[in-house]
Amino acid sequence: MRLGSLPLAVNASILFTELPLLQRFGAVKAAGFDAVELWWPFDRAVPARTETDALVSALDAADVRLVGLNLFAGDMAAGERGVLSWPERTAEVRDNAAVVADIAERTGCRLFNALYGQRRDDLPQEQQDDTAISNLVYVAGVVSTFGGALLVEPLTAGENGEYPLRTADDAVRVLDRVRDAGADNLRLLFDTYHLTNNGDDLVGVISRHGSRIGHVQIADSPGRGQPGTGSISFDRVLKALQDSGYAGYAACEYRPVGPSAESFGWIPAQTSPCRNA
């Protein structure tokens, strides 16, 4: 497995949950990594300045880089998966974009995952989609001012409510609509777990859409554990990614089987640039 050409990051929202969030960055560093990504780490779209200050200070103290951040996605614990397609929450989306821009300025983060929003029975589907596209165009414009990009992610059916983006093709259709509306800084988030669960052939997705992949997340399927706990052939997937020219981060976004710090045995230490010897 030629993982050495793909730098690794750790999703500190799903790994090292044995610790409070701001203590996880030091644990990530101690495990040999220098980059993290996060789901939106606050309970509202616009947190207090003291909260964002604490986040940035904790990243700096641990000497780890924030390379990916989810936009505000509603109440994830209650089952929400984004609010981009919900008209009455457009103000939250746009206020959140200003906070994201501030965090980006202070951390150098340039990739932002924009969860689309679940289907609702009380609104026409067309209205929901038009709202999502409008909000994506707006936020894409905000992050474009500092060279940022938005990521659009399919999610596993049956685990995320009536989330409409399930395959890579679903997400690419959104990318195309946003591009046609004037924003070209959107990319596909290639998550091995979600795509596999929804029936996508991972190598086939890379073959069709490799040039549009903006970020990679790694978890095995079934189970969402670390590679080796499921059935995905990560050797084939990583080779296909490298052959496609992808050179961005591959983020560990799995639920570890056992303690987080002991879940990285699948990584060949001698080929990984993000692990200490």
Catalytic residues: 153, 253
- Contact in structure between 90 and 131 (CB atoms under 8 Å): yes
- Contact in structure between 156 and 217 (CB atoms under 8 Å): no
Reference 11, options 273, 270, 263; nearest CA is: 263
Q: How far apart are CA 64 and CA 37, in angstroms?
A: 10
The count of other CB atoms within 10 Å of the CB of residue 105 is 11
Residues 6+ apart with CB under 8 A from 196: 202, 221, 232
Beta-bridge partners for 188: 152, 213
Residues 6+ apart with CB under 8 A from 152: 114, 116, 136, 165, 171, 174, 175, 186, 187, 188, 189
The count of other CB atoms within 10 Å of the CB of residue 34 is 19
Task: Judge residue 267's burial from the number of C-beta atoms within 10 Å of its C-beta, 0-12 exposed, 13-18 middle, 19 or more buried.
Answer: buried
Q: How far apart are CA 159 and CA 36, in angstroms?
A: 24
